[in-house]
Amino acid sequence: MKSNPFAWRTLIATGLALAATLGFAGPDPAASTIRPPGYQPLKGDAKAGMALFNDTKLSTNGMSCASCHANHAAFGASFAQPYPHTVAMARDQLGRKSVYLDEMVQACMVMPMAARPLPWNSQALADLTAYTAGLQKTFKPAH
Whole-number pLDDT of residue 96: 93
pTM reported for the whole predicted model: 0.81
Contact (Cβ atoms closer than 8 angstroms) between residue 35 and residue 117: no
Dist CA 11 CA 97 (whole Å): 21
Q: Is the pLDDT assigned to residue 21 strictly greater than 70?
A: no
- Per-residue DSSP letter, 31: G
Q: How confident is the model at residue 76 (pLDDT cuts 50, 70, 90)?
A: very high
3-state helix, strand, coil in the chain (%, to 5): 55, 0, 45
Q: Among 28-32, 59-63, 123-127, which is the least confidently predicted range?
A: 28-32
Taken in order of first residue, the domains within the chain and their CATH numbers are 5-35+42-138 (1.10.760)
H-helix or E-strand spanning residue 131 = helix 123-138
Cα-based torsion angle of the residue sequence 59, 119, 132, 100 in order, rounded to the nearest 10 degrees: 120
Whole-number pLDDT of residue 143: 66
Q: How confident is the model at residue 35 (pLDDT cuts 50, 70, 90)?
A: very high
Q: Is the pLDDT assigned to residue 132 strictly greater than 50?
A: yes
